[in-house]
Amino acid sequence: MPTRGRPNFSDSAKATLQTACRYDQNSIGTGSHGCFTQALIDTINQCGMQITHPDLLTQVRQAITKYTSKQIPQLRGRPVRLEESFLEGWNYSI
């Protein structure tokens, strides 16, 4: 369970979660994809498949502004896992 001072991170998290928007926002579509999905695709295609979760979040937040200004992607998970590459398997045992 997340601690009160750090609601986005939990040392006991068993998953890493990238979300399209904050809990008080709605995600928006672009036609065939949601804006988040398109921004994620754009970012992954540009990064050469090598990017950490925090860097991915930063770049997706920048990329999504091409499609909408009404949603802010979020990142949740175990802090040690978040520093690993987005497309790698877990290096940290739970």
Q: How far apart are the first and last CA of the chain?
A: 15
Range with top average pLDDT, 8-17, 28-37, 68-77: 68-77
DSSP label at residue 90:
P
More confident position, 26 or 7: 26
Give me the pLDDT at residue 24, please.
Answer: 93
Instruction: Read off the pLDDT of each residue in 30-53 and give the average, rounded to a whole number.
Output: 88
Contact 27, 34 (CB under 8 A): yes
Give the SS3 label for residue 79. Answer: helix
Round the average pLDDT of the chain to a whole number and report it: 82
Question: Angle at Cα 61 formed by Cα 70 and Cα 71, nearest 5°?
Answer: 15
So what's the pLDDT on residue 58? 95
Tell the residue number behind the tokens 């040392």, with chain if given: 11
For residue 42, the model assigns a pLDDT of 92
Q: Which residue has the higher pLDDT, 93 or 57?
A: 57
